[in-house]
């Protein structure tokens, strides 16, 4: 299967490489020159306008009068409409009723799958499985394009060290090296390098930039950081998106150097285009232009001009470009050249997608019937979901469970369908997905019995629960607290083991879902306490879209499996792991804090001048009330089997700037079950012209091993891998000593050293 997937991925890339050359630049230029020669100023500005229509609303305002705007040539594209029929109807208006018949592009937030929903991106990153992630994007693309979508607002690659921020769920965790690899894989999967293929769609890298570092974790809040940090720790995944050929970028809501990203010329032009060479188009986030008024940047005309002058091409929902650019041009506040540039970039994207050849190429009702939510796609989603679950502890070996005997399934997440796909699954058709209870009963069959009680609500506060279960995912039970709890305890007493499905409902993470406390909520913790008192073994399945604080649970519950939100097939995938058909293999891609006060906490931090040898030590960098160590480190995750690492070998203790050396270990599966291990390579630059992190991920390999099987994993180290941005933002490597670390997580490593020479 693995080989098959790699061959498939290679073929996709090869086909892409072949067809990439198929876009004849000169021919495209001639076509667009001709078209733009016939466009009025208003029609050019119209191409820069992206209103929203349809049933799926993802922001705080909606667009009016869309059909008449399309007829008047005032719309470049639309987003978040679902279904071939309704999309076709509007494409027909554009093609048949607007003066020049320029087709629209149709976008959607296809973030982790379409109707076949894959795990939330944060969870997917825990698999460290680039082939499977690429394949998930490929499948998302097949399904979305079968339903009329040719542009997705994904991948979201914002580095996040801030679990209070709900959108941690949409990104790939805290590491720029891993985040870059995932960004590349997603873009390859979506675009396949040939945008005119009917089964590929254009990617949109977001949110440029730094959206994952809001102060206090509060969504849309201020971001402030040094340029050195931006370039070394936050920018790499965005740049990887440019290098992978992403067709579009989306601006972020936050300020950067006190200027909102959407109006930030340094960011959108000097960094993105001049430095990195991006040649696609930039769309704003939802109403990000008009939000600059609230940021205190001026009125709608001023902020719209600011956005265009910064290098932003398309206005999502704000109507700022549409309503003010003509006036700004007449007043000399923007240039025709800049309007033309933006218009050309959008027309080029349409050209590359083949929309001028056939505006209806993605509107094939037959494909919509046969290519969506297929058995093959569902199998891929289920398989990937099993790879994302992180076994945090299994002290008494309670997992995997037997299918025999009696299992008490309890908790607010045990019997909910709509919560399984997770946040940002706008195309999901939840009625087709299984609840955990259904899947568990299926998995057990007539060998055993699964008894169920909800046991409690998400939390005691009904208002908090309501705000965390929006979009029709309400789940509040009106029965009194003790009635629900007693029922759960009663069935628990009759059973051999308790499976507690707890944590956050899916909309407790995602956009506008910041939290100030990250513990399992009061009602659930009280239920856990009551269940513990029964003396029965408990398996805690923690659903969440972020890293949560679980110090109490780790202390009290020997077996904890973090299951995040696993997508449409989550319930079956959880059973695959819980009953031991598959060993868990997910590894944390964000450090798990002991409490909120430790945040931000991340593995690749700098050393202070007063490092803390042990907790507590006066006049060193530590807290009085909590150790510096996280609850679980970056890269951590257990399996049902065990892996032994041989001593690491290094091919040489010196590396010349043009050469390379290798670091190797042999890993053996020493347990009695098959399993996958993610072998991790970290490097530390011991002395530099700027302070350097204590370790940085520089390589990883996910390997599958049968019991007794061994595999040697070899990483190549060269000067390129050792480069960083210095104080002048030059990408350099500096000769000197380096430490190489290989291990099963970021803390549990072996170390050797080498010297880089000129
Ligand atoms: C989000 C984006 C999303 C857009 C369109 C915004 O609120 O920040 O991530 O792509 O809406 O739905």
Of 369, 403, 432, which residue is a domain's last? 369
Residue 547's pLDDT is: 98
Residue nearest to atom 12 of ligand 1 (CA): 58
Q: Is residue 624 part of a domain?
A: no
Give the closest residue to 109 by CA, choosing from 139, 144, 83, 158.
Answer: 144
Cβ atoms < 10 Å from Cβ of 611: 12
Query: In the chain, how many domains are there?
Result: 3
Substitution candidate for ligand 1 out of 283, 284, 285 with most atoms within 8 A of CB: 285
Give the distance (Å) from ligand 1 centre to CA of residue 128. Answer: 26
**What is the rounded distance in angstroms from the CA atom of residue 230 to the CA atom of residue 237?**
11
Give residue for tokens 């592009």: 105
Q: What is the pLDDT of residue 65?
A: 87
pLDDT of residue 239: 98
For residues 345 and 395, state if they share a domain.
no
| pLDDT tier for residue 15 given thresholds of 50, 70 and 90 | very low
Residue 20, pLDDT > 60, answer no
| 82 occurs within a structural domain | yes
State the pLDDT at residue 155.
98
Instruction: Identify whether 285 is a catalytic site residue.
Output: yes
Does some domain include residue 635? no
Tens of pLDDT, residues 336-347: 999 999 999 999
Q: Are 163 and 300 in the same domain?
A: yes
The CATH number given to whatever domain includes residue 722 is 2.60.40.10
83: domain CATH number is: 3.20.20.300
* Residue at a domain's end among 562, 593, 624: 593
Quick: pLDDT tens for 104-114. Answer: 999 999 999 99
Contact by Cβ (8 Å): 169, 688: no
542 has pLDDT over 90: yes
Closest atom of ligand 1 to CA, residue 207: 9
Task: Classify each residue of 163-188 as buried b or exposed e, where b means 16 or more C-beta atoms within 10 Å of its C-beta.
Answer: bbbbbbbbbbbbbbbbbbbbbbbbbb
Residues 408 and 464 in one domain: yes
CB–CB of 376/8 below 8 Å? no
Give, for ligand 1, the residue of 153, 167, 205 to mutate: max count of ligand atoms closer than 8 Å to Cβ. Answer: 153
Looking at residue 110, its pLDDT comes to 98
Q: Does residue 354 sit in the same domain as residue 395?
A: no
Find out whether 329 and 41 touch, Cβ atoms under 8 Å.
Answer: yes
Q: In this structure, is residue 381 part of a structural domain?
A: no
Q: How many angstroms does the Cα of residue 207 sit away from the middle of ligand 1? A: 9
Task: Check whether 553 has a pLDDT greater than 90.
Answer: yes
Q: At CA 701, angle to CA 698 and CA 705, rounded to 5?
A: 155
**Closest atom of ligand 1 relative to the 58 alpha carbon:** 12
- Ligand 1 center to residue 281 CA distance, Å? 16
First-to-final CA distance of the chain: 44
Is residue 472 a contact partner of residue 431, using CB atoms and an 8 Å limit?
no
156, 212: one domain: yes
Domain boundary among 561, 593, 625: 593
Q: Are residues 694 and 749 in the same domain?
A: yes
C-alpha 264 to ligand 1 mean position (Å): 19
Residue 60 pLDDT: 67
pLDDT digits (tens, 9 = 90+) for 354-367: 999 999 999 999 99
Both tokens of 135, joined, read: 């394949």
Q: Is residue 48 domain-shared with residue 122, that is, in the same domain?
A: yes
Ligand 1 atom nearest residue 253's Cα: 8
Segment 23-42 shows an average pLDDT of 97
Q: Which two tokens stand for residue 18?
A: 């072949």
Mean pLDDT of 610-630: 94
Q: What is the DSSP string of 503-566?
A: E--GGGSSTT---S--BPPHHHHHHHHHHHTTT--EEEEEE-SS--B-HHHHHH-SEEEE----
Nearest CA to ligand 1 atom 6: 286
Task: Identify the H or E element spanning 750.
Answer: strand 749-757
Nearest residue CA, atom 4 of ligand 1? 286
296-326: per-residue pLDDT in tens? 999 999 999 999 999 999 999 999 999 999 9
pLDDT at site 2 = 41
Same domain, 742 and 702: yes
pLDDT tens-digit map of 497-533: 999 999 999 999 999 999 999 999 999 999 999 999 9
238 lies in the same domain as 337: yes
CA-80 nearest atom, ligand 1: 12
3-state helix, strand, coil in the chain (%, to 5): 35, 20, 45
Q: What is the CATH number of the domain that holds 488?
A: 3.40.50.1700
pLDDT at residue 578 above 70?
Answer: yes
**Structural domain span for residue 164:** 2-369
For 374-424, the pLDDT digits (tens) are 999 999 999 999 999 999 999 999 999 999 999 999 999 999 999 999 999
Residue 252 C-alpha to ligand 1 middle, in angstroms? 9
Ligand 1 atom nearest the C-alpha of 170 is 9
User: Is 258 within the bounds of a domain?
Assistant: yes
How far does residue 158's CA lie from ligand 1's centre (Å)? 13
Q: Of 131, 194, 197, 285, which is the active-site residue?
A: 285
To the nearest whole number, what is the mean pLDDT of the chain?
95
Pocket test for ligand 1, best of 56, 58, 284, 513 (most atoms within 8 A of CB): 58
Structure confidence at residue 62 (pLDDT) = 72
Asked whether residue 706 is assigned to any structural domain, the reply reads yes
pTM of the model: 0.96
Q: CB under 8 Å to 284, separation ≥6 — which residues?
A: 250, 251, 262, 307, 312, 314, 315, 316, 318
| Nearest Cα to Cα of residue 206 among 259, 247, 150 | 247
69 part of a folded domain: yes
> pLDDT digits over 651-705, tens only?
999 999 999 999 999 999 999 999 999 999 999 999 999 999 999 999 999 999 9
Please check the confidence at residue 169 and state whether its pLDDT lies above 90: yes
CA-CA distance, 426 to 90, in Å (whole number)? 20
Which residue has a Cα nearest atom 8 of ligand 1?
285
pLDDT in tens, 431-479: 999 999 999 999 999 999 999 999 999 999 999 999 998 776 677 999 9
Residues 6+ apart with CB under 8 A from 93: 67, 70, 71
Indicate if 346 and 416 belong to the same structural domain.
no
State phi, psi for 390 to the nearest 5 degrees.
-110, 120
Pocket of ligand 1 (CB under 6 A): 58-59, 80, 109, 153, 206, 285-286, 511
Same domain, 364 and 407: no
Q: Does residue 260 have a pLDDT over 50? A: yes
What pLDDT is recorded for position 5? Answer: 44
In this prediction, residue 338 carries a pLDDT of 98
Do 354 and 254 lie in one domain? The reply is yes
684 DSSP β-pair partners: 739
Q: Is residue 4 very low, low, confident or very high in pLDDT (cuts 50, 70, 90)?
A: very low
Atom of ligand 1 nearest to the CA of 204: 10
> 756: pLDDT confidence band, cut at 50, 70 and 90?
very high
Q: Are 541 and 502 in contact (CB under 8 A)?
A: yes
Q: How far is the CA of 250 from the centre of ligand 1 (A)?
A: 9
How far is Cα 133 from Cα 383, in angstroms, rounded to an integer?
A: 11
């Amino acid at each position: 299967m693995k080989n098959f997937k790699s061959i498939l991925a290679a073929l996709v890339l090869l086909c892409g490489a072949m067809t990439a050359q198929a876009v004849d630049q000169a021919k495209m230029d001639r076509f667009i020159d001709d078209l733009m020669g016939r466009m009025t100023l208003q029609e050019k500005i119209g191409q820069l306008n992206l209103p929203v229509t349809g049933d799926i609303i993802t922001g705080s305002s909606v667009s009016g009068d869309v059909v008449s705007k399309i007829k008047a040539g005032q719309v470049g594209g639309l987003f978040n409409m679902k279904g071939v029929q309704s999309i076709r109807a509007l494409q027909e208006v554009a093609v048949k009723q607007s003066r020049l018949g320029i087709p629209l592009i149709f976008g959607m937030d296809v973030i982790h799958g379409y109707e076949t929903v894959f795990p939330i991106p944060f969870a997917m990153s825990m698999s460290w499985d680039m082939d499977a992630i690429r394949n998930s994007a490929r499948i998302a693309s097949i399904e979305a394009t079968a339903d009329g979508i040719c542009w997705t607002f994904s991948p979201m690659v914002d580095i996040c060290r801030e679990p209070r921020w709900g959108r941690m769920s949409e990104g790939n965790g805290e590491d720029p090296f891993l985040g870059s690899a995932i960004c590349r894989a997603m873009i390859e999967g979506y675009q396949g390098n040939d945008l005119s293929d009917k089964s590929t769609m254009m990617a949109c890298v977001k949110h440029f930039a730094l959206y994952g570092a809001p102060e206090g974790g509060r969504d849309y809040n201020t971001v402030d950081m040094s340029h050195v940090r931006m370039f070394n720790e936050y920018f790499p995944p965005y740049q990887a998106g440019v290098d992978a050929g992403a067709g579009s970028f989306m601006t972020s809501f936050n300020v950067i150097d006190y200027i909102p990203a959407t109006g930030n010329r340094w960011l959108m032009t000097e960094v993105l285009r001049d430095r990195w060479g991006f040649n696609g188009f930039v769309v704003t986030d939802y109403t990000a232009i008009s939000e600059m008024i609230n940021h205190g940047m001026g009125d709608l005309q001023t902020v719209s001009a600011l956005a265009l002058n910064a290098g932003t091409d398309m206005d999502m929902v704000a109507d700022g470009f549409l309503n003010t650019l003509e006036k700004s041009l007449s007043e000399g506040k923007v240039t025709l050249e800049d309007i033309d540039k933006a218009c050309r970039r959008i027309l080029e994207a349409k050209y590359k997608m083949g929309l001028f050849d056939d505006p209806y190429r993605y509107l094939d009702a037959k494909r919509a019937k046969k290519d969506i939510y297929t058995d093959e796609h569902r199998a891929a989603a289920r398989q990937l979901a099993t790879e994302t679950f992180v076994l945090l502890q299994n002290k008494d070996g309670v997992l995997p469970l037997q299918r025999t005997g009696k299992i008490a399934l309890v908790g607010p997440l045990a019997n909910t369908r709509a919560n399984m796909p997770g946040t940002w699954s706008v195309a999901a058709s939840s009625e087709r997905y299984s609840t955990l209870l259904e899947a568990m009963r299926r998995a057990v069959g007539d060998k055993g019995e699964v008894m169920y009680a909800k046991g409690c609500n998400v939390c005691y506060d009904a208002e908090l629960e309501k705000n965390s279960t929006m979009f029709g995912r309400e789940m509040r039970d009106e029965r009194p607290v003790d009635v629900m709890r007693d029922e759960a305890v009663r069935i628990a007493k009759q059973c051999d083991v308790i499976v507690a499905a707890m944590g956050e409902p899916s909309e407790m993470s995602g956009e506008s879902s910041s939290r100030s406390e990250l513990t399992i909520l009061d009602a659930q913790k009280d239920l856990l306490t009551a269940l513990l008192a029964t003396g029965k073994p408990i398996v805690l399945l923690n659903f969440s879209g972020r890293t949560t604080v679980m110090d109490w649970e780790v202390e009290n519950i020997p077996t904890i499996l973090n299951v995040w939100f696993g997508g449409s097939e989550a319930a079956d995938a959880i059973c695959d792991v819980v009953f031991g058909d598959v060993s868990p293999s997910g590894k944390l891609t964000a450090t798990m804090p002991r409490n909120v006060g430790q945040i931000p906490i991340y593995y690749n931090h700098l050393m202070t001048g007063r490092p803390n040898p042990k907790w507590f030590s006066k006049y060193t960098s530590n807290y009085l009330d909590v150790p510096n160590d996280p609850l679980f480190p970056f890269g951590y995750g257990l399996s049902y089997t065990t892996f032994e690492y041989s001593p690491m070998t290094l091919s040489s203790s010196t590396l010349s700037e043009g050469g390379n050396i290798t670091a190797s270990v042999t890993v053996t599966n020493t347990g009695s079950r098959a399993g996958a291990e993610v072998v991790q390579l970290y490097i530390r630059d011991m002395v530099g012209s700027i302070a350097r992190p204590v370790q940085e991920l520089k390589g990883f390999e996910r390997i599958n091993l049968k019991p007794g099987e061994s595999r040697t994993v070899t990483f190549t180290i060269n000067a390129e891998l050792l480069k960083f941005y210095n104080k002048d933002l030059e990408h350099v490597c500096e000769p000197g000593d380096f430490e190489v670390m290989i291990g099963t997580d970021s803390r549990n490593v072996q170390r050797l050293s080498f010297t880089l020479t000129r």
